Amino acid sequence: MSQVEKRAGLLRRTSSSKKPLKEKVVLMYDEIFAKEDPAKNNPRFWDELFLMKVNLEYLESKLESVDGEEVQRIQDNINSLFHHCVQALGEEHQIKVVNALQTLCALFRGVHQKNKSASGFDIINMLMGFDKAEQRMKDLMERLDSLLCGDGSESLKSLCLKLLLCLVTVTDNISQNTILEYVMINSIFEAILQILSDVSSRGQHGYDAVVLLALLVNYRKYESVNPYIVKLSIVDDEPTLDGMGMVVHQALTEYNRQYKDKEEENQGGFFSTLTSMVGSMFIADADEKLSVQTNEAILLALYEAVHLNRNFITVLAQSHPEIDIATTPTPPTRPHPQHHLAPLMNNPELPLDPNLQTSNLLITFLKYASIVMQDTKDEHRLNSARLCLIILTCIAEDQYADAFLHDDNMNFRVNLHRMPMRHRKKAVDKNIPSRPLVCAVLDLMVEFIVTHMMKDFPMDLYLRCVQIIHKLLCYQKKCRIRLHYTWRELWSALINLLKFLLSNETTLLAKHNIFHLALLVVNLFNMFITYGDTFLPTSNSYDELYYEIVRMHQVFDNLYCMVLRVSTNTGQWKEAASKVTHALVNVRAIINHFNPKIESYAAVNHISQLSEEQVLEVVRSNYDTLTLKLQDGLDQFERYSEQPKEAAFFKELVRSISLNVRKNVSLNTLSQDVLLKEFSTIS
């Protein structure tokens, strides 16, 4: 109790220092927390209460401080408060609605804060009373729905979403939030969609709506039928899906822009480098984390949309000029600038700025992924990178997505961020050619492969990465698409990866099954060797493949020795390793076939060091005597499925997002002074 007093006191000093007395609203709260029915003496008690400015802190701390026995005593009053809050939402007086929304926020939060360990049922009982809970929540959801869909004030809508976000994130684990059961029954899905489909409301509330949707979809995802999952998966309204894509696009663009600004700042000359070095010791770390965290929710939303809704794939390729947010920087929690794309019928004109590059959600996403993947040491970034790769996996499996990834007419320059490394210069942005989007995906994969060979080996990410490449190759083979890509870069990256696995065998084996990864990599080569005729762009590229294998034969030799050794010993890796030995048969056949030929060519012509052209010549003239073995299932792959493999990851991810969202929402709902002012002038 004393703590509460102190808070009330503090508040008095700051906000109403003239009055020595407690605020009236505080007194009224006190009445609620007394035994008596507050309306007994004052029939207009509830009416008056919602005319008062809410003191969230006081109310929440009061709820927190109620101990076990008291709960029983005051439960009726709290139920009554909840009931009247819900009723007040239907009031015409908007001040009342605002206050009721905030009070509800405080109620949900305060009750949960107090009863962290309590079961969901106790909490429901305390808030609404068991017998009435269903009706109360139905009323609440209906009122929220009509507020969100109505023509009312935008701030009001915003507050509704905040309340919902607050409700969804009160527990760390969303699936333990039993109240959400009622949100499942009384769906507000349609309201969320409506917000997303309308341009102006999307601009202002899109971010919250998308995050809310992403969280709701994750409620008891694996245990029960979640109506939000079902509904999201069948949405086919283009404007709505576009709207959703636009919100994600905007959030990711904003992140990319911030990152770029910072990067440029860091490169802005010697002095700034120095200062930023010093500065970054203190700020940069925290700053970066924050921005990544805010985007995880959006990334989750993107994932759910791509994963669940097959129609959403088209949104990825929906191209539009890159929105220049630089002029109107907006943190994600503030209303977003109104988007110009949607009112198509009225306004076909796009803003005219020759500097704007045409972009689409996929490009923005790839850029974002390239930034996030640069550094995976941090847990959040690792999660983000993993999620990015999962999204890319879903995309690579989708036929329509593959079609536009490989569309020769949709060429883009995609400036992926590359980690500055000692042994290579930072590529100049302007030199990137305009190519089909799949090239950017492959570039991103190659980039990841070459930059993450470290002691703390991100095995999971590597596996996903190699599988994405495999899926793309399968599509190209099936559709006979001959992509003009510099495959050599991929080959040498893969060979280097094998080399890294070999040289760190012992350390890696302690933690990972490196044979699985090695098998996938070798099978990528087998794809090229056996099916190269169906998707390689030129006959020369097939020769180059052989050249590269022969050139790096030592790596394959060593790999073969290693897997042979492991597979002949008895141990946990025996089977995994023996698979690799079988997979290597063609690579070894190539090496064993061409190496002697090349040596004899050198001997005959008395050349010590053969040029590339000479080796290629030897390769070309000796194909016919080489026989390869056709391997099984090279073009088969396991389809991505979230359950059971990824379930744990998503649970953790959602938990971390919940925490983050909760933090942001609480900060925000507490500063609603502006909002109140708005309504006091309106009404």
Partner 1 sequence: MMEDTDPDLSPSPSDQNSSSPSLSVCSSPSLSLPSTPSSSSCPAPGPAPSGTPPLGVISEGPGELSLVIDAEVAQRACQEVLQKVRMNQTEVEVDVGGSQNGAGPEPALSVTIVKPAQIQIREVEDDPGSVKSARRRQRHNPSKQSWLLRLFESKLFDVSMAISYLHNSKEPGVQAYIGNRLFSFPHDDVDFYLPQLLNMYIHMDEDVGDAIKPYVVHRCRQSISFSLQCAWLLGAYSSDMHISTQRHSRGTKLRKLILSDELKPAGARARRDPLALTPFCPAVSGSGEHGLSPSKRTHQRSKSDATVSISLSSNLKRTASNPKVESSQDEPVRLAPQREFIKSLMGIGKRLATLPTKEQKTQRLISELSLLNHKLPARVWLPTAAFDHHVVRVPHTQAVVLNSKDKAPYLIYVEVLECENFETSSVPIRIPENRIRSTRSVENLPDCGMTAEQRAGSFSTVPNYDNDDEAWSVDDIGELQVELPELHTNSCDNISQFSVDSITSLESKEPVFIAAGDIRRRLSEQLAQTPTTFKRDPEDPSAVALKEPWEEKVRRIREGSPYGHLPNWRLLSVIVKCGDDLRQELLAFQVLQQLQSIWEQERVPLWIKPYKILVLSADSGMIEPVVNAVSLHQVKKHSQLSLLDYFLQEHGSPTTEAFLSAQRNFVQSCAGYSLICYLLQVKDRHNGNILLDAEGHIIHIDFGFILSSSPKNLGFETSAFKLTTEFVDVMGGPDGDMFNYYKMLMLQGLIAARKHMDRVLQIVEIMQQGSQLPCFHGSSTMRGLKERFHMSLTEEQLQLLVDQLVDGSMRSLTTKLYDGFQYLTNGIM
What's the angle, vertex CA 614, arms to CA 612 and CA 619, rounded to 5? 95
Out of 89, 95, 590, 654, name the contact with partner 1 by CB under 8 A.
590
Instruction: State which of positions 630-659 bind partner 1 (CB under 8 A).
Output: 630-637, 639
| Cβ contact 586:629 at 8 Å | yes
Nearer to partner 1, 31 or 198 (CB): 198
Q: Residue 435's beta-bridge partner residues?
A: 412
Out of 432, 463, 509, 628, name the contact with partner 1 by CB under 8 A.
628
How far does Cα 183 stand from its chain's mean position? 24
Site stretch for partner 1 (CB under 8 A), options 166-174, 393-401, 423-431, 566-574:
393-401
Minimum Å gap between C-beta 512 and partner 1 is 28
Site stretch for partner 1 (CB under 8 A), options 6-14, 311-319, 598-606, 654-662:
311-319
CA nearest to 180, candidates 658, 672, 664, 670: 658
Question: 109 to each of 125, 169, 458, how far by Cα in Å?
Answer: 15, 9, 38
Minimum Å gap between C-beta 190 and partner 1 is 15
Minimum Å gap between C-beta 542 and partner 1 is 5
Spatial distance between the Cα atoms of 526 and 293, rounded to a whole number of angstroms:
40
Binding string, 15-44, against partner 1, x = CB under 8 A? ------------------------------
Out of 475, 485, 525, 560, name the contact with partner 1 by CB under 8 A.
475
Q: Which residues contact 505 (CB under 8 A, 6 or more apart)?
A: 514, 562
Q: Is 499 in the site for partner 1 (CB under 8 A)?
A: no
Nearer to partner 1, 339 or 662 (CB): 339
Spatial distance between the Cα atoms of 24 and 316, rounded to a whole number of angstroms:
53
Nearer to partner 1, 448 or 531 (CB): 531
Minimum Å gap between C-beta 665 and partner 1 is 33
Q: Is 602 in the site for partner 1 (CB under 8 A)?
A: no
Instruction: State which of positions 191-220 bind partner 1 (CB under 8 A).
Output: none
Minimum Å gap between C-beta 244 and partner 1 is 14
How far does Cα 392 stand from its chain's mean position? 11
Spatial distance between the Cα atoms of 572 and 568, rounded to a whole number of angstroms:
11
Token pair listed for 79: 């139920």
Instruction: State which of positions 513-542 bind partner 1 (CB under 8 A).
Output: 529-534, 536, 538-539, 542
| Cβ contact 48:5 at 8 Å | no
| Cβ contact 336:252 at 8 Å | no
Nearer to partner 1, 609 or 625 (CB): 625
Residue ranges in 425-538 assigned as alpha helix (H):
437-451, 459-479, 487-503, 505-511, 514-535
Spatial distance between the Cα atoms of 677 and 94, rounded to a whole number of angstroms:
11
What per-residue string of b and e applies to 203-224 under the rule 16 or more CB within 10 Å gives b?
A: bbbbbbbbbbbbbbbbbbbeee
Assign 345 to helix, strand or coil. coil
Spatial distance between the Cα atoms of 545 and 494, rounded to a whole number of angstroms:
12
Instruction: State which of positions 322-361 bind partner 1 (CB under 8 A).
Output: 341, 344-345, 348-350, 352, 354, 357-358
Site stretch for partner 1 (CB under 8 A), options 274-282, 376-384, 477-485, 511-519:
477-485
Out of 60, 208, 397, 548, name the contact with partner 1 by CB under 8 A.
397
Token pair listed for 490: 């991929």
Minimum Å gap between C-beta 408 and partner 1 is 7
Minimum Å gap between C-beta 392 and partner 1 is 14
Q: Is 556 in the site for partner 1 (CB under 8 A)?
A: no
Nearer to partner 1, 69 or 632 (CB): 632
Instruction: State which of positions 401-420 bind partner 1 (CB under 8 A).
Output: 402-404, 407-413
Nearer to partner 1, 17 or 431 (CB): 431
Q: Residue 424's beta-bridge partner residues?
A: 421
Out of 125, 187, 200, 233, name the contact with partner 1 by CB under 8 A.
233
Q: What is the 8-class DSSP label of residue 295?
A: H
Minimum Å gap between C-beta 613 and partner 1 is 17
Out of 310, 499, 512, 516, name the contact with partner 1 by CB under 8 A.
310
Minimum Å gap between C-beta 255 and partner 1 is 22
Q: Is 319 in the site for partner 1 (CB under 8 A)?
A: yes
Nearer to partner 1, 448 or 594 (CB): 594
Assign 360 to helix, strand or coil. strand
- Rounded (10°) CA dihedral 292, 296, 301, 305: 90
Minimum Å gap between C-beta 441 and partner 1 is 14
Token pair listed for 564: 């042979």
Out of 43, 433, 608, 681, name the contact with partner 1 by CB under 8 A.
433
Tell which phi-psi region holds residue 129, choosing left (phi > 0), alpha (psi between -120 and 50) or beta: left
Nearer to partner 1, 631 or 668 (CB): 631
Site stretch for partner 1 (CB under 8 A), options 170-178, 208-216, 509-517, 617-625:
617-625
Instruction: State which of positions 656-675 bind partner 1 (CB under 8 A).
Output: none
What's the angle, vertex CA 272, arms to CA 266 and CA 274, rounded to 5? 95
Name the burial class of residue 13, with classes exposed (0-12), middle (13-18) and buried (19+) by CB atoms within 10 angstroms of its CB.
exposed
Minimum Å gap between C-beta 515 and partner 1 is 20
Q: Is 227 in the site for partner 1 (CB under 8 A)?
A: no
Minimum Å gap between C-beta 112 and partner 1 is 35
| Cβ contact 227:184 at 8 Å | yes
| Cβ contact 332:252 at 8 Å | no
Minimum Å gap between C-beta 533 and partner 1 is 4
